[in-house]
Amino acid sequence: MNKYSIAEFIKNTEQEDKGEGFFELETPRMLEVNLNGQVWAKAGSMVAYNGAIKFEREGILENGLGGLFKMALTGEGASLMKANGDGKLYLADAGKKVIILHLQSEAIYVNGNDLLAFEPSIKHDIKLMRRVAGMMAGGLFNIRCEGTGMIAITTHYEPLTLRVTPGKPIVTDPNATVAWSGNLQPNFQTDISLKTFVGRGSGESIQMRFEGDGFVIVQPYEEVYMQTNN
């Protein structure tokens, strides 16, 4: 066990400007946003800030009537917030590892629970996985992020990226799937033998099958998604 004097502890853990720009990894599990304008973030992810920053939930009609329908259907659509102002904003999510990605006229799908923040230049759209909604508690939704700018995603422990190539599909557990390339559309399948082995109704009997040319990011952790009524 490490023992520090207060002065040593402050020196070893204090905030440090790295000059990396809008998004900085202050620690592997803490995102610093150098805010001068607006940023989208997961609701409840703010742990600290300085300066003049105001927060508001995503408007009920932010994405039009289609967005309103998805929010009602998933019960999770209001889990994004906007932070506006000038200052430093610190974001985290249950101690998960933070990864910054810079999109360059690209698209990526991120599991709704694993998207921490993104620049306002990134267009976002909530997608409900309807085919799996009746099979898993609370269903499962993802957010399509597209454009040029930075996004921050989170994973439990270190992620693994698997390449999907023609003729060589990748099959994943939905609870361990974090993100995938914007050109891929997963299909859902049920493994009858696995379902029989692990017990009826087990989440592991439902699988995501990715075919084509792209990538999928998985984590060494099976996350349980609970529907909320915000």
Q: CA angle, corner 199, sides to 198 and 201, nearest 5?
A: 115
User: Average pLDDT in the 148-177 region?
Assistant: 94
- What is the pLDDT at residue 228? 41
Who contacts 110 (Cβ-Cβ below 8 Å, separation ≥6)? 142, 143, 145, 151, 153, 178, 179
CA distance 195 to 47: 40
User: Average pLDDT in the 202-219 region?
Assistant: 85
Q: Which residue's entry shows tokens 């799937």?
A: 177
- SS3 of residue 10 by DSSP: helix
User: Average pLDDT in the 62-90 region?
Assistant: 67
β partners of residue 151 = 101, 118
Q: Pick the more confident residue, 198 or 228.
A: 198
User: Average pLDDT in the 175-192 region?
Assistant: 89
Element (H, E) at 81: strand 80-91
- What is the pLDDT at residue 128? 76
Per-residue DSSP letter, 116: E
Tell me: pLDDT of 198 over 90. Answer: no
Tell me: pLDDT of 200 over 50. Answer: no
At 121, list the tokens. 């230049």
The answer to whether 142 and 177 are in contact (CB under 8 A) is: no
- What is the pLDDT at residue 62? 55
Mean residue pLDDT of the chain comes to 82
Q: CATH assignment of 19-218?
A: 3.60.160.10
β partners of residue 41 = 81, 117
At 164, list the tokens. 């999907």
Length of the chain: 230
For residue 31, how many other CB atoms are within 10 A of its CB?
A: 25
Percent of the chain scoring above 90 in pLDDT: 57
- What is the pLDDT at residue 162? 95
Q: Which residue's entry shows tokens 């998933």?
A: 74
User: Average pLDDT in the 90-100 region?
Assistant: 96
- What is the pLDDT at residue 225? 56
User: Average pLDDT in the 202-227 region?
Assistant: 81
Nearest Cα neighbor of 171 from 121, 209, 133 is 209
User: Average pLDDT in the 156-169 region?
Assistant: 95
- The string of pLDDT tens digits covering residues 132-160 is 655 554 457 789 999 999 999 999 999 99
Q: Pick the more confident residue, 27 or 196.
A: 27
User: Average pLDDT in the 48-69 region?
Assistant: 72
The answer to whether 99 and 154 are in contact (CB under 8 A) is: yes
